[in-house]
Amino acid sequence: MSTFIGMRSEVSLVQWMSDGASDHPGPDAVRGFVVAAKAGDVAAFGYIVELHESRVFRTARAILGSDSDAEDAVQEVFVRAYRYLARFDESRELAPWLYRITANVCRDLAKNRRRHHGVSIESLHLASSQSGPFESLARQEQRELIREAIARLPYKEGAAITLRDLEGLTTREVAKALGTTEATVRSQISSARAKLRKYILRIERRTS
């Protein structure tokens, strides 16, 4: 009779489901799934995908600017993660490693598709708005504009500000994810914020 290497984590997953647990499991549990997945356990890896796909999608969506591109990115991130899982040290946290893969995948997608080349944040269409943006940025319309503006930033700036201000990583973590120095990240963040501020001010001038 054949055996299936995924059975161990399958039992864990079923146990977790049977217990009615819905919270994110602790780092030890995640580590256990990483170990099982490294041994080729696809079910365990499926669980890892389930735990991390939201944040990977959120990050890719912010950098790339569309649901469909983000969907492609998420798939590619987890396929690459599975492929290179053997090189991952399970004593470390998984999320920073996934952020790094996400940044690389988004860079490749942005480069290959050349989506944003020649379209700068300055040339972005400004939607009409009835009130000043600094008073009403919480509104959906403004959120859409900001999303669009982030996606129009140069890739490195968009990735840096997404990881820092949207995902809440420290500058050191952002630097690791992007494979660069903290000083470079600070420069990219600063430049991105300056561009976004100018963009918002343009909206304000347009609407006042």
Partner 1 sequence: MSCPRDSELALYAGGELKGRRRTWTDGHVRECQPCAKKVGEFHVVRSAVASSAVTIPAGLRAGIRVSVLDRIALDDGGPASRNPLLAGILWACAPLALLAGVAAVWDLLTSEPEMPPLRMAGIAAEVPEGALLLSRQLNTVPPESPGRADSLDEAFGALDSGELIFVEAGEGPGVLAQLRIQTADASIEIHWLID
16 forms part of the interface with partner 1 (CB under 8 A): no
- The amino acid occupying position 104 is N
Residue 13 as a binder of partner 1 (CB under 8 A): the answer is yes
How far apart CA 202 and CA 13 sit, in angstroms, is 51
State residue 96 phi and psi, 5-degree precision.
-60, -35
Torsion-angle region of residue 41: left (phi > 0), alpha (psi -120 to 50) or beta? beta
Q: What letter represents residue 143's amino acid?
A: R
| Binding residue (CB under 8 A) for partner 1 from 31, 58, 116, 202 | 58
The separation between the first and the last C-alpha atoms of the chain, rounded to the nearest angstrom, is: 75
Please select the residue that binds partner 1; options are 31, 191, 202, 207, rule is CB under 8 A: 191
* Residue in 69, 171, 175, 178 binding partner 1, rule: CB under 8 A: 171
Among 25, 71, 129, 202, binds partner 1 (CB under 8 A): 71
Tell me which of 24, 92, 111, 143 binds partner 1, using CB under 8 A. Answer: 143
Q: Can you tell me the distance from the alpha carbon of 47 to that of 186, in angstroms, rounded to the nearest whole number? A: 35
What is d(CA 69, CA 139) in angstroms, rounded to the nearest whole number? 24
Look up residue 87 and give its amino acid: R
Q: Give contact residues for partner 1 (rule: CB under 8 A).
A: 1-4, 6-8, 10-11, 13-14, 17-18, 37-40, 42-43, 45-46, 49-50, 53-54, 57-58, 61-62, 67, 70-71, 74-75, 78-79, 82-86, 134, 137-138, 142-143, 146-147, 150, 161-162, 164-166, 168, 171, 186-187, 189-191, 193-194, 196-197, 200-201
